[in-house]
Every structure is written in structure tokens, then in C-alpha cells.
Amino acid sequence: MHKSVRQSMAWLHSWLGLSFGWLLFAIFLTGAVTYYRHEITMWMQPQFASMQVNQDTAVKTAYQYLQQHAADAQHWYIGVAHPAAPVNKIYWQTPDGHYEMRTLDASTGRELTLSATQGGDFFYNFHFQLYGLPYTIGRLMVTIAAFIMLITLISGIITHKKILTDFFTLRTFKGQRSYLDFHNVSSVIALPFFLTITFTGLAIFFYIILPSGMKKVYPEHPFQYFEDIQTVNGSAISTAPVKSNMLPVQHFTTTVQQHWGKTEFESITVKQPNTQLAQITFTELKDHSITRNQAQLTFNATTGKLLKNTRNDSAIATLNAGVYGLHMARFADPVLRLALFFSGLLGCAMIASGLLLWSLKRQMQKKSVRFHLGYYLVNRLNISIILGLPLAMLGYLYANRLINIPAGAPNYEIYSFFIIWIGSFMLACLMPQQHLWKTQLKVLMGAAFMLPLIDMYYLVSQHDIDSFKSYWPFLRIDLMLWLLALLAYFLHQNIHPIQQKAVRKIQTKLKTVQQGSSS
């Protein structure tokens, strides 16, 4: 039987969407949360919130630390403390090629022994390399998922024949029709965001799916590409590095401020420190375009001479930076970031409504009440992803407040995340169909409502807050949690559990069929 293009696309859309929907939901939700990863990290490390940042002091103390502890290193990197991340993060490459990393107090330059929490970085890493899997496998899976997402979006556009006519249509509380409308509306209104984020996500990992080009140009060190795409090699210097004293860092910060005015730094790097070849580069924190081209200034660190710009400004490098810039949106100010976060959540809503629609449609088409393993599994996986993942994320935050993890200890927060996620799936498997949604929604609502209260108690008891200003970094996350609790309440009260609805319709249908055959 020949199918039309639209029918074929609908088939492709629904089956690809189902196969990868759960993974894509997890990637979208953790990605949306990643827009606030620094804020989550601060929430999870309350001692950060009270730290005052003076970048001049932060730069000076980090520079001094590196001079004392890594004077003979090949390379220094200072992630300069700023209000969103008020500690200095430093890395250096030892003469034998290994990397060392430290977190320093920005005011005193003391090494900080922080708890083993990963904060918001856990969601960030999960988003693009799926925590727990080897990096290559995780990234490959995410890349394949992005590719599938792109196909699903395009096939969805072809399938949805009335994009403009039905642009504003959302028939609420009308069963299957409402799910389809909601799926369409959530997809169409943020379509530019979905296409951009999916394509850029795919393009970032181009070297995983199309490695041959990089291998051909860089047969021995493929990852040299990443160095070349960012910086232009100056004239090759053949002289061997000779020990030489570098100028004090204040000399450079003063010169940089003469060029840029009063500004904040994102990072400072020093190549071949304490030699006559030492180059120090300052990068500005604020990003003025989508191509991650924050202002940069490079000096010879021993003579203080301003060197020419080493940034690679070629078209392909700008395109590469644009791909990263658009995906990570580091240019976004708070309001824009909130809108991006909302668009990410809309992506989750689109995927969730698509998954639920698939499930509902199949149950409506089913003509018997016989157990069907496929439908059973889809229903259970739906709930353990759509509600189980947010529950697991809450569990991660709960663990932070309830368990103290010393540095170097196993990260029980991450264990809690996965235990709760698996628990949600097991609960869904054991629960009868009619109680599936309401039970987990109740747990989600209760957990999201209680956490801010526990947080407040914790902060007061630990003397981490003494004013509204010091409470605000925590309150903004707590307010989001209360919004999540409200959303769970809304779903619990106003949307009839989808499974119950489907069961009722099937029962009515079966009764009609039975009556028809008996008469």
C-alpha cells in the first residue's frame, strides 16, 4: 500500500519521537536547568553566597598562588571570581604535562576544601554526556538524539499541515484533541528555538559523527583543531624559553582597564609563565554578541608589550563560535535567560505531550482489555521520565540539604538522584493504572513545596543568611520550586489522569462492541 509523504512523515515522527522521546526529555530538562547552573551551584554551596568579590584582589591572590605553587608550569588558567561564581578556579599544566586544579578563596587566595557537591554542573554534564557513561558513549548518544530530534522536528513540520491556520488554536479539556493541540502549539511557538538549539547541539559534536575531516587535516593530533579554531598562531618562535621574571599582574590590569574602562574579567591565561616568552591574555566577562567574542588583550608578560590580537577571526572560526554561542547563550541577560529557560521547558512540554498522545492514541485504538507489554512499558516509562526526572532532581537538592558530603567522599547527592529516579520507575511499575499519575504528582507537589521550607530552616540554623539580600540567592531557586509545586497541583487538580480517561473510553467502546454482537 502506498502512503502519501505526509502519512510517511507522520509514521516517522511518531515512532522516532517515541523511541527517543524519553532521552530527549531528559536532555531538554537538564539543558533548561543548565541556564541556571551557577545559581544552582550557589544554592548548593551556601558558603559561596556570603563571599564578596573584588576582582582586583581575586586576580592578585590567584596570580600570587600560581607564582608560589606553579612557577615552572607550562600554562596557567585563572577563572576569575565574579558575583555568579565567587571563587577563583585555577588550572595549570605541570612541566610533565599533567593538569592540576584548585579552587581558591578570592579574597585571601587560600585553597578551599569544598564539599564534593557538583552543584549545577551535574545537570550540565548530564545534558551533553549523560552522567555515568563513558564520555565518548554519552556524547555519541546525545548527538544521535539531537540528530533524531532534528528529523522529528522536520517530519513534524511536514505532518502538521495547518501550521498557520491552527497557529492560535488550543482546544482545552477535550481529551485527545487537547493533547494534539498542546503538542502543536508548544512545538510551533518555540520552533525557531528548537531548530536552533538542536542544530547547534548537533554541530558542536560534529567531530563525533563526522570525524574524518578532522583526522585528515590533523592526522596526529585531531584535537589541535580546537586550539587552531580559537587562536591564530603567531610567527613560530624558535628560541628556547629562558627563565625571566614577569611583571606584577597589577601592571596588566591597570593597562587593560585603560583600554576597556572598568570591567569584569572572565579569565586570565598565561602561556609559558616566568620565561621571556610568557604571554598573558585577559578575557572580558561580558559577551557583546552571539559569537562568544568577548574582548581579549594579550601582552608579553615580561616586557609588558601589548601583542597583536591572537583570536582567530576567520569566517569559519566565527561560525564555530556562533554555534557554541547560540547553544550556550552566555550573552543572555537575566530576562533573556528566563525566556530561554521557558523555551527549554516548552521543549519538555512538547516532548511530554507527544509521548502522552502516542500512548493515549494506542489505548483508544486497542480493541481488547488484554495486557499489552508494550503499552504497559510506554506508560510506565512516560511517568518515570515526565514526573520521575523532576522528582530525582528534587532528590538531588534534598540530599544536599540533608547529607553533608566532605571533600573526597562519594557523592551521595548523585546517588540520591539515580535512586529516586529508579524508585519512580519501580513505583510506576507496581502501581495500578488509575493511581499512576495522581500518586507521583502528589509526591512531586509535596517535595517541591517542602524543600524551600527545609532550605530556610537549614540556612538559618547554619547562620548562612542574615538579611534578605543574603537570602535572595536561595530564595530565587526556592520560588522556582514553589512554581513547580503549583504546576504539579494544577496538573493534579485540573487535568484528569490521562490513563483513567483512556480506560473509560476503552470500556465504553468495548461495551458498545459487545452489545452490538449480542443483539
Closest CB 181 distance from other proteins, rounded Å: 9
Residue in 84, 151, 297, 339 binding other proteins, rule: CB under 8 A: 339
161 binds other proteins (CB under 8 A): no
Residue in 3, 69, 171, 177 binding other proteins, rule: CB under 8 A: 171
Task: Show Cβ contacts of residue 412 under 8 Å, excluding neighbours closer than 6 positions.
Answer: 399, 403, 405
CB 106 within 8 A of CB 88: yes
What the block records as the C-alpha cell of 485 is: 509545586
What residues pair up with 279 in beta bridges, in sequence order? 271, 300
Closest CB 149 distance from other proteins, rounded Å: 17
- State the CB neighbour count (10 A cutoff) for residue 331: 17
CA–CA gap between residue 295 and residue 305 (Å, rounded): 18
32 binds other proteins (CB under 8 A): no
Please, what's the b/e burial string for 264-284 (b: 16 or more CB within 10 A of its CB; e: otherwise)?
A: ebbbbbbbbbbbbbbbbbbbb
Nearest to 12 by CA among 143, 176, 147, 154: 154
Binding mask 314-333 for other proteins (x = CB under 8 A): ------------x----xxx
343 binds other proteins (CB under 8 A): yes
Q: Which residue has the cell 581558591?
A: 104
The stretch near other proteins (CB under 8 A) out of 158-166, 218-226, 421-429, 478-486 is: 158-166
Residue in 172, 224, 233, 508 binding other proteins, rule: CB under 8 A: 172
In 71-211, beta strands by DSSP E: 75-79, 87-93, 99-105
Closest CB 257 distance from other proteins, rounded Å: 22
The stretch near other proteins (CB under 8 A) out of 238-246, 286-294, 437-445, 459-467 is: 286-294
What the block records as the C-alpha cell of 322 is: 556562533
Closest CB 190 distance from other proteins, rounded Å: 4
291 binds other proteins (CB under 8 A): yes
Residue in 4, 96, 113, 192 binding other proteins, rule: CB under 8 A: 192
494 binds other proteins (CB under 8 A): yes
Strand, helix or coil for residue 312: coil
Residue in 218, 342, 425, 449 binding other proteins, rule: CB under 8 A: 342
What the block records as the C-alpha cell of 110 is: 587560600
- State the CB neighbour count (10 A cutoff) for residue 398: 20
- State the CB neighbour count (10 A cutoff) for residue 92: 23
Closest CB 165 distance from other proteins, rounded Å: 5
Closer to other proteins by Cβ: residue 331 or 415: 331
Residue in 30, 34, 186, 320 binding other proteins, rule: CB under 8 A: 186
164 binds other proteins (CB under 8 A): yes
Cα of first residue to Cα of last residue in the chain, in angstroms, is: 35
Closest CB 288 distance from other proteins, rounded Å: 5
Strand, helix or coil for residue 87: strand
335 binds other proteins (CB under 8 A): yes
Which residues are at the interface with other proteins (CB under 8 A)?
A: 164-173, 185-186, 189-190, 192-193, 288-291, 326, 331-333, 335-336, 339-340, 342-343, 346, 494
